[in-house]
Structure 1
Amino acid sequence: MKENKYFKESEFKCKCGKCKLPPNVPSDELVDVLCEIREHYDAPITINSGYRCKKHNAEVGGAAKSQHTIGSAADIVVKGVKTEEVHQYVLEKYGDKPFGIAIKHNFENPFGGFVHIDTRGKKARWTYP
């Protein structure tokens, strides 16, 4: 993992608890983006989901070709910032980049849900149900 002042490798590990983080995961580009978002808000970021092994990805209902399985994706929450605000910022800042950007709303809690960002190499936008 690229050296940085905000994130630890352990934050990106698969939640299955059994597999190891592959080499060069998360991607350097993803780390750069997350650090920029962290600095923009001057607030900690929680990584709800980083790397996922294929088995765990299937267990949580992830897409078969999920960017999480190659270590180029993260589902994030910025402490004290509404999910929709983070989503809008990511779209404005990175909307012209070949990234996957999505939102999972929590309509009962504007600080719940998460923003997904990945560095897949082509544009993709969606909303989780």
Structure 2
Amino acid sequence: MKKSPWPNFSYAELRCRCGKCDSDGTEMDPTFMDQVQVLRERYGKPLAISSPYRCPRHPVEARKATPGAHSLGCAVDIACRGADAVEILRLAMTLPFTGIGISQKGASRFIHLDMAPAAAGRPRPTLWSY
């Protein structure tokens, strides 16, 4: 497999996890990933990517009327909670992410970051909670 240009992220961890496609992680938008790398460097600790690229056949994307930012290769969900979530959010808001979603309840806690363009039903910039 080809080596990723981002020192803290491998293509293997960025590939679709549906098990039905031949994603290899290179589907990620380089401009977006450059900003995720900046976030990682400023944060100073590993970022656990819980949801990277998702192909249109991925179960989450297949349920949508129109596939979302993950299927465009310009979104990740970062598993985090508590003080770490606050710090990641604080740092992310200084970067050019256009969409930030926050899920901080239950067992699966994360912050969604994307740089999806504005579209019908998807105004940008925007912030939401799950």
Same fold (TM over 0.5): yes
Change in CA separation of 1:2 and 1:54 when aligned onto 2, cut-off 3 Å:
same
Q: 1:105 & 1:23 partners in 2: Cα distance?
A: 27
- Equivalent in the alignment of 2:109: 113
Q: Show the counterpart of 1:14.
A: 16
- Residue 90 of structure 1, aligned match among 78, 85, 92: 92
Distance 1:98 1:41 in 2: 16
After TM superposition, give the deviation of residue 56 of structure 1 in Å.
1.4
Q: TM-score, normalised by structure 1?
A: 0.76
One-letter code aligned to 2:52: G
Q: CA deviation at 1:18?
A: 2.2
* Structure 2: stretches of 5+ with no match in the other structure: 119-123
The Cα shift of 1:98 comes to 6.1
Question: Counterpart amino acid of 1:8?
Answer: S
Distance 2:78 2:64 in 1: 16
Q: Which runs of 5+ in 1 are unaligned?
A: none
Instruction: Look up the match of 1:124.
Output: 125
Q: Per the alignment, do residues 80 and 102 of structure 1 end up closer, same or farther by CA in structure 2, a change over 3 Å counting?
A: closer
Please report the RMSD computed on the Cα atoms of aligned residues, expressed in angstroms: 2.9
Alignment-mate amino acid for residue 50 of structure 1: P
How far the C-alpha of 1:126 sits from its partner, in A, is 3.0
1:102 paired residue number:
101
Q: CA deviation at 1:28?
A: 0.8
Aligned residues: 123
Query: Cα 1:82–1:67, aligned 2, differ >3 Å: closer, same or farther?
Result: same
CA shift in 2, pair 1:11/1:98, >3 Å: closer
Paired residues of 1:104 and 1:115 also in contact (CA < 8 A): yes
The amino acid across from 1:53 in the alignment is C
